[in-house]
Amino acid sequence: MGKYLPNKIKVDIGSYRHYWRGIKKIGKTTMFRDLVYAQYGDYKYGLLISTGNETGYKALDNIYAADAPTWDKFVEIVDDLVKSKEENDFKIVAIDTVDELVEIATNKAMEMHQHTTKKIAKSINEVFGGYGAGKRWISKEINKQIVRLERKGYGLIFIGHTKIKDIKETPETEAYQQLTSNLEGGYDSIFADKADILATFATKKIVKEGLLDKVERYIWFRNDGYIDCGSRLAGMPDKVLMTPENYLKAFEDGVRNSMANPATKEEMAQQRKKETEDALKEAEKYVEEEPEESISEEEVDYLKERIISILKELGGSSNESLVKLVKEFETSGNPNRIKNPSKLKELLKKLEDLKNNSEEKEEVK
Given this model, what pLDDT does residue 30 score? 96
Given this model, what pLDDT does residue 301 score? 77
Least confident of 35-39, 90-94, 173-177, 184-188: 173-177
DSSP tag of 56: G
Residue 248 or 288, more confident: 248
Mean pLDDT calculated for residue range 299-306: 80
The predicted-structure confidence for 168-189, as pLDDT tens digits, reads as follows 778 788 888 999 999 998 999 9
Strand partners, 215: 205
What are the structural domains of the chain? 13-285 (3.40.50), 297-364 (no CATH)
Whole-model pTM? Answer: 0.80
| pLDDT higher than threshold 70 for residue 1 | no
Measured at the alpha carbon of residue 301, what is the angle toward residues 125 and 148, in degrees to the nearest 5? 80
How far apart (Å, rounded) are the C-alpha atoms in residues 80 and 152? 11
Contacts of 34 (CB under 8 A, 6+ apart): 243, 244
**CA nearest neighbour of 90 among 77, 99, 102, 101:** 77
Element (H, E) at 154: none
Mean pLDDT calculated for residue range 66-86: 93
CB 93 within 8 A of CB 51: no
CB 101 within 8 A of CB 74: yes
Given this model, what pLDDT does residue 293 score? 47
Mean pLDDT calculated for residue range 223-228: 91
Question: Coil, strand or helix: which one is 255?
Answer: helix
How far apart (Å, rounded) are the C-alpha atoms in residues 162 and 146? 21
Share of the chain above pLDDT 70, in %: 95
Given this model, what pLDDT does residue 294 score? 53
CB atoms within 10 A of CB 179: 19
